[in-house]
Chain A
Amino acid sequence: AQTVTQSQPEMSVQEAETVTLSCTYDTSESNYYLFWYKQPPSRQMILVIRQEAYKQQNATENRFSVNFQKAAKSFSLKISDSQLGDTAMYFCAFMKPYSGNTPLVFGKGTRLSVIA
């Protein structure tokens, strides 16, 4: 079974600074998908970024980027120019190759606080 580990339960960062959230996973699959979801106090789960394992290029979405190290099974999220609105729980998630019925496996989350 796949597992996802987020080793940082809580983190804080000053506004406008850069922060990196860590995620490692365990799988025997060679192809898969990785995701970062954001959960603000509103409770809504919001997709931040996704990465296909067969792509070597790291995904980026505006201020959010990932460092995907397939051999090390590591998938960290970097947030640049942190904003107060980035304050949220962040979940790393793994998905096996899509076959129409592929659930996500989540890590336990990292609570990020952006300080003014």
Chain B
Amino acid sequence: DAGVTQSPTHLIKTRGQQVTLRCSPKSGHDTVSWYQQALGQGPQFIFQYYEEEERQRGNFPDRFSGHQFPNYSSELNVNALLLGDSALYLCASSLDNEQFFGPGTRLTVL
């Protein structure tokens, strides 16, 4: 079992650009959540996808959007990047009450 995988590992963008991050859930998991972890902080919930729909959203602006595909994999899109979007972006997949996290994508905005 490969567990949760994310790509790319690292990414460098400039302000105003757009970025897409990808996540493949653990085998058998149908739900994907995305979190943003700023340096020295705990993860902050962005949103969760289930059955290809956004089921719940945290306190993030509309610049953050996502998608879930029929195979349960997911993308996180961020438009009009700001310096403050620099963070580790974590994907978690779940079935029932346990969320398992991937290794994250480190996004640096210059």
Chains A and B come from one and the same complex:
no
Q: Mark B residues whose CB is within 8 Å of A.
A: none
Q: Mark A residues whose CB is within 8 Å of B.
A: none
